[in-house]
Amino acid sequence: MTIDIDTVRPTTTAPPAGAGARARVPARRTGRWIDRWDPEDPDFWEVEGRRVARRNLAWSIFAEHLGFSVWLLWSVTATFLVSAGFDFTPQQLFWLVAAPNLVGALIRLPYTFAVPRFGARNWTVVSALLLVVPTGLFAYVVQRPDTPYWVFMLVAATAGVGGGNFASSMASINFFYPASRKGAALGLNAAGGNLGVSLVQLFLPVIVGGAGLFGLVAASGSLHLERAAYLWGGLALVAAAGAFFFMNNLSVARSRPREQLRVVRYRHTWIMAFLYIGTFGSFIGFSAAMPLLIKINFFDQPTPDVVGIGINVASFAFLGALVGSITRPFGGWLADRFGGARVTVASFALMTAGTLVVLFTLTRLTPVPKVDPTTVDPATFTFPDAVTSAVEANEQTFWFFLAAFLFVFAASGMGNGSTYRMIPIIWKVRAEQAGPEGSPERNRALLQSTREASAVLGIVGAVGAVGGFLIPMTFGAPWIDDPVSAVRTAFAIFAGFYVVCLVVTYLVYMRPGSPMARARV
φ, ψ dihedrals at 479, nearest 5°: -85, 0
Residue type, 425: I
Element of type H or E holding 136 = helix 132-141
CA distance linking residue 399 with residue 382, whole number of Å: 24
Burial 88-121 (b: 16+ CB within 10 A, else e): eebbbbbbbbbbbbbbbbbbbbebbbbbbbbbbb
Q: Which residues pair with 9 in a beta bridge?
A: 4
Residue type, 65: H
Residue type, 220: S
CA distance linking residue 158 with residue 155, whole number of Å: 5
* E strands present in 161-308: 249-250, 299-300
Cα first-last separation, the chain:
28
- Crossing angle of the two packed helices 179-207 and 50-71, in degrees rounded to 10: 40
Residue 63, Ramachandran bin (φ over 0: left; ψ between -120 and 50: alpha; else beta): alpha
Contact (CB, 8 A) for 344 and 274: no
pLDDT less than 70: residues of the chain:
1-31, 210-221, 255-257, 259-260, 301-307, 371-381, 438, 477-481
CA distance linking residue 135 with residue 230, whole number of Å: 7
CA distance linking residue 476 with residue 84, whole number of Å: 21
What is the pLDDT at residue 4? 35
User: Of 484, 309, 479, which Cα lies nearest the Cα of 381?
Assistant: 309
Contact (CB, 8 A) for 475 and 310: no
What is the pLDDT at residue 380? 60
- DSSP string for residues in 394-411: HHHHHHHHHHHHHHHHHH
Q: pTM of the predicted model, to two decimals? A: 0.78
Residues 6 or more apart whose CB falls under 8 angstroms from that of 164 comprise 67, 104, 107, 108, 110, 111, 127
**Residue 453: helix, strand or coil by DSSP?**
helix
How large is the greatest C-alpha to C-alpha distance in the chain, in angstroms?
A: 90
Q: Please say whether the dihedral angle defined by the alpha carbons of residues 309, 315, 321 and 327, taken in this order, is positive or negative.
A: negative
In Å, what is the CA distance from 189 to each residue of 102, 123, 184, 257, 374? Answer: 22, 16, 8, 24, 52
At the top level of CATH, which class does the domain 31-370+383-518 belong to? mainly alpha
Long-range contacts: 265-273, Cβ < 8 Å, 24+?
266/456, 268/426, 268/427, 268/430, 268/456, 269/456, 269/459, 269/460, 270/463, 271/504, 271/508, 272/419, 272/422, 272/423, 272/426, 272/456, 272/460, 273/459, 273/460, 273/462, 273/463, 273/464
What is the pLDDT at residue 13? 36
φ, ψ dihedrals at 3, nearest 5°: -120, 125
What is the pLDDT at residue 383? 73
Q: Residue 226, class by beta-carbon neighbours within 10 Å (0-12 exposed, 13-18 middle, 19+ buried)?
A: middle
CA distance linking residue 252 with residue 323, whole number of Å: 36
- List the chain domain ranges: 31-370+383-518
- 445-488 pLDDT, tens digit each: 777 777 787 778 778 888 888 888 888 888 876 656 677 778 88
**Residue 448: helix, strand or coil by DSSP?**
helix
User: Of 194, 185, 172, which Cα lies nearest the Cα of 336?
Assistant: 185
CA distance linking residue 309 with residue 368, whole number of Å: 11
Q: Please say whether the dihedral angle defined by the alpha carbons of residues 283, 196, 416 and 104, taken in this order, is positive or negative.
A: positive
CA distance linking residue 65 with residue 429, whole number of Å: 32
